[in-house]
Structure 1
Amino acid sequence: MGDHRERGAVTASRLRERFVSVLTTLVRWVGTLAAVLLVAHVVLTVGGANPDNGITRFVAAWADPLALGFRDLFTPTDANLGVLVNHGLAALFWLVASALVSRLIRRGAP
């Protein structure tokens, strides 16, 4: 009977570990996806992509809200430089923030 309880505890422990692993992976993927969209927006903008193209509009529609408060942090006279710096910083923020949140989740898990 004691053996049954130990197996149940091991199973619950493994389930908790698996949940934490999936959650931290999800957090990292969300941060990476946000960074990729922001970098794609920078590349399309600085590269002079057609702003009326569907791909360009799609990326811009997702990148703008993901830029958070970085969107107009710096206002250089060259608009392309502004996109490069501001959206680039936002991409770095998403990567760092998702890594930190992932680490906090792992440390907080029993």
Structure 2
Amino acid sequence: MKQKVLIKVNMNDDKSRSKALKTVVGLSGVESAALQGKERDQLEIVGEGVDSVVLTRLLRKYVGYADLISVGPVPEKKPDQPPATVAAAMEATPQMPVWAYPYPASSQVYQVRDSEPTCSIM
């Protein structure tokens, strides 16, 4: 069964955040990890068979202070109903704008020749 674990970790800079994310993602069973909270100091880990106590101990060992906030099941999402018509499906998918840049009509090349060559060999 998938579970969601929320851990508050003392992360002050980007280096400690990346170290915490690498530590969490390296554990077996972890499917996703994300930074949460106003100060981006909470890790939300989703996975199957993840031991939250082992995860908290690893974060304490490699990053610093870590506090286990909550462990619970992941709420299941209901599948969306597919659009009834092709036109509705086309409206639902975002379309990328096409940007056309015109090429210059004519390009002019200038060649400059000096009457006196700068090279003494010639």
TM over 0.5: no
Q: Which has the higher contact order (CA 8 A, sep 6+)?
A: 1
- Which structure dedicates a bigger proportion of its chain to helix? 1
In the superposition, the TM-score normalised over structure 2's length comes to 0.23
TM-score with structure 1 setting the length: 0.25
Which structure: greater strand fraction? 2
* Higher radius of gyration, 1 or 2: 2
